[in-house]
Structure 1
């Protein structure tokens, strides 16, 4: 066991006025299993790169371990998987490699296939095995679950649960709960570490937010009451002071000493009230800094003239002579929220593309209602380039509503002026989701919508789908999201 000490860490990208981190200090134990969470664009990957020494920064990062980053860059994917692994971990004994692959539920025969021919799940598991073969290193694991199906996620989480000494970036709540013992969270104003899993952290955050909101309301009322009391006391003091002069017609001489004493006493009380008011203002200023402004999302699903929108019966989908989907059989009715489930390679994306109108060879029954308006979110964001304004003009979407939706998903206004090519993976996916939420459609089709999307945004998406109840067909491997949203599950 050893400690990694971060002290007064400050970093900003060149040309940026706003630092990503400013005077951040905390400690990490190298035996911890840390889940690393925070909204998209807050700096999770940047922090990992700082640990790796890839950027110049001020402050100190001190520890007696080396850092290793996942995913590794595979420069020659045409090589056998064993050679790829050898290039990452030179001289590693075969028995250790086979042990790690066995723990990950991967057959050792994959080592003798070209790396490029392995499925995404097999590639991820092979690279994770290579990562944990690195000795005396603290491991930085950046979003290993993207594109993994549910079975692969389960085996990876079981594997990580047997390990220690890593930071894991993931937005899958169930996945995090199963394999971490501490949470490292990037908040709006600081970085915080808590013991426990994601559910523990979320409950603590919810309680802290509720306490701060209640305390904020109480202090607002106190400040208003104290302000009113201070004004009344000051007015009384002025009125008493004026009585020192007496009345011209009364002929009486006031006791100026008594009146001065009474006036000073009232003034002292006014100063005391003012001091209490200032203390309340300062206390209030310390609240709400880390409360996420997760605004309520909206969407406008359309009703259709028939109840049945899509019918699929004993459907096989082909690429060339190879069937990628066999005997799919289901219907999509108005109001359905259908989770399309199955292993990677079972034809989920192909079926979605067929429904969305792409020309794909098939046999069996496929019927789609005429004049059906579909809003589609692809799992691929690589084509997003150029300005947001030009992007939404191509879809005929109201710019102000679209940008308001992005703001609720934690986009800063400065992002609106950037080229979309410079957005993070999560920010690009939010562009696709915001566009879909702004589209009026009979059927929403989302293919792995939550890849790279932060936990709070996932909760916002759950809320809008439950509130507006659109007809939606989606592929998603986040088990908690599927459990909360799906009214039906179609297994391929």
Structure 2
């Protein structure tokens, strides 16, 4: 066991006026299994890069261990997997690596296949196995679940549960709950550490939020009282000064020098009181910060003239000689939220694309209602560029609703002015989801919509869907999201 000490850490990117971190101090134990959570754009990956020494900062980070980042860049993907592993950790014996692969339920034959021929899930597991063979390293594991199906996520989560000494960035609640024993969270006002898994941290956060909301009501009352008092105080000296030009009740003239002196003293006193009141207002206002607030939205979906929107009747999908799914039959009815579930490569995305009009080779029958309007959220976000306002006009969206949904999902107003190509992966996904929820359609089709999206935003998307109740067909590997949202699950 050793400690990682972070003291008075302050960091901002070149050219930015806002600090990502400001005078942050805490300690981490290198034996902990740390889940790392926080809103998109709050600085999770930035903090990992600071640990790796990639940026200059003020303050100090001290540790007796080296840091290693996952995922590794693989320079020669055409090499056999065993050669790729030897490049990453040259001193490791083959039997040690095969032991790790067994724990991850990966067959030994992957060692003698080109790395590029492995599925995304297999590549993730191979690189994780190599990561945990490195000695005297504290591991920084950044979103390992993005290319894993539900079964793969459970396997990797169980694998990590048996390890220690890492920070894990993941937005999958069930995944974190199974394998971490501490939570490192980036909030609006800094970084907190709590013992326990994500659900325990979230319960504590909800209790703290409820307490802060009650305190915020008191603070706002205090701020209003102090502001009113400050206004009254500033009027004192003006009222006294005005009497210089008046008369005494007896009719004799006032001593203007005396009144002026009295007014000056009153002015000095009132300024002192006003300054103390303003200081108190500023101090109380600083406390109104840490609630993740969001406003209610008015979202409506087009009603369809029939109960049934679409049907798959004994559908099989083919890619050349390969059949990826066979004899799939189900109906999509208004108000249903249907999750397609199955391993990677089982044809889930292909079934979705059949409903969007993509030319995919299949047998069987796909029936869609006449004049059915569909909104599709793809896995790919690389095409997003330009301004949000132009994007809203191109898709004939209510721009105020579109941006209100993004605000609810923690988009800062400054992001509205930026080119979408500069957005993070999570922010781009939020743009696609906000667009879909803003469109007047009968059916929403979402293909892994939550990749890269932070946990709190995932929960808010759940709230929107449960309140809005659209008809939805989706593929998603987040177990908690599927459990909370799906009214029906189709297993492939």
Tell me the TM-score normalised to structure 2 length.
0.89
> Quick one: structure 1 residues 117 and 234, their matched pair in 2 at CA, closer, same or farther if it must change by over 3 Å?
closer
CA distance in 2, matches of 1:136, 1:204: 33
- Report the CA distance between 1:85 and its aligned residue: 1.2
Q: Comparing 380-389 with 169-178, which one deviates more in the overlay?
A: 380-389
Q: Comparing 109-118 with 324-333, which one deviates more in the overlay?
A: 109-118
1:276-425 to 2 correspondences below 5 Å: 281=281, 284-425=284-425
1:3-402 to 2 correspondences below 5 Å: 3-222=3-222, 224=224, 248=250, 281=281, 284-402=284-402
- Report the CA distance between 1:283 and its aligned residue: 5.7
Q: Comparing 174-183 with 19-28, which one deviates more in the overlay?
A: 19-28
- Report the CA distance between 1:297 and its aligned residue: 4.5
Q: Deviations over 1:112-164 (max 9, x none)?
A: 11111211111111010011011100000000001311000000000000111
CA distance in 1, matches of 2:455, 2:154: 19
CA distance in 1, matches of 2:281, 2:417: 36
> Quick one: structure 1 residues 14 and 225, their matched pair in 2 at CA, closer, same or farther if it must change by over 3 Å?
closer
- Report the CA distance between 1:111 and its aligned residue: 1.1
1:223, 1:277 within 8 Å by CA — same for their partners in 2?
no
2:12, 2:19 within 8 Å by CA — same for their partners in 1?
yes
The number of residue pairs the alignment matches comes to: 472
Note the aligned Cα RMSD (angstroms): 2.7
- Report the CA distance between 1:420 and its aligned residue: 1.9
Q: Deviations over 1:207-246 (max 9, x none)?
A: 111111101212333455677789999999x99xx9xx99
Say which SS state the counterpart of residue 156 (structure 2) adopts: helix
CA distance in 1, matches of 2:459, 2:428: 18
CA distance in 1, matches of 2:283, 2:207: 18
> Quick one: structure 1 residues 399 and 328, their matched pair in 2 at CA, closer, same or farther if it must change by over 3 Å?
same
1:387-466 to 2 correspondences below 5 Å: 387-466=387-466
2:233, 2:273 within 8 Å by CA — same for their partners in 1?
no
1:296, 1:460 within 8 Å by CA — same for their partners in 2?
no
- Report the CA distance between 1:390 and its aligned residue: 3.0
- Report the CA distance between 1:247 and its aligned residue: 6.8
Structure 2 gap segments, 5+ residues each: 252-269
CA distance in 2, matches of 1:399, 1:175: 36
> Quick one: structure 1 residues 342 and 189, their matched pair in 2 at CA, closer, same or farther if it must change by over 3 Å?
same
- Report the CA distance between 1:274 and its aligned residue: 8.6
Q: Comparing 160-169 with 88-97, which one deviates more in the overlay?
A: 88-97
Say which SS state the counterpart of residue 299 (structure 1) adopts: coil
Q: Deviations over 1:31-60 (max 9, x none)?
A: 111111110011111111111111122221
CA distance in 2, matches of 1:470, 1:400: 20
Q: Deviations over 1:369-420 (max 9, x none)?
A: 1211000000111222233233333212233332222222111222223222
CA distance in 2, matches of 1:161, 1:193: 19
> Quick one: structure 1 residues 410 and 233, their matched pair in 2 at CA, closer, same or farther if it must change by over 3 Å?
closer
> Quick one: structure 1 residues 222 and 272, their matched pair in 2 at CA, closer, same or farther if it must change by over 3 Å?
farther
CA distance in 2, matches of 1:40, 1:310: 35
Say which SS state the counterpart of residue 184 (structure 2) adopts: strand
CA distance in 1, matches of 2:359, 2:426: 29
2:233, 2:274 within 8 Å by CA — same for their partners in 1?
no
1:33, 1:166 within 8 Å by CA — same for their partners in 2?
yes
Say which SS state the counterpart of residue 193 (structure 1) adopts: strand
2:145, 2:153 within 8 Å by CA — same for their partners in 1?
yes
Q: Deviations over 1:440-483 (max 9, x none)?
A: 11000000011100111111110111111100001011111111
1:314, 1:329 within 8 Å by CA — same for their partners in 2?
yes
CA distance in 1, matches of 2:233, 2:415: 50
Structure 1 gap segments, 5+ residues each: 250-269
> Quick one: structure 1 residues 133 and 374, their matched pair in 2 at CA, closer, same or farther if it must change by over 3 Å?
same
CA distance in 2, matches of 1:298, 1:450: 22
> Quick one: structure 1 residues 228 and 72, their matched pair in 2 at CA, closer, same or farther if it must change by over 3 Å?
closer
- Report the CA distance between 1:91 and its aligned residue: 2.6
> Quick one: structure 1 residues 174 and 298, their matched pair in 2 at CA, closer, same or farther if it must change by over 3 Å?
farther
CA distance in 2, matches of 1:283, 1:211: 18
CA distance in 1, matches of 2:208, 2:371: 49
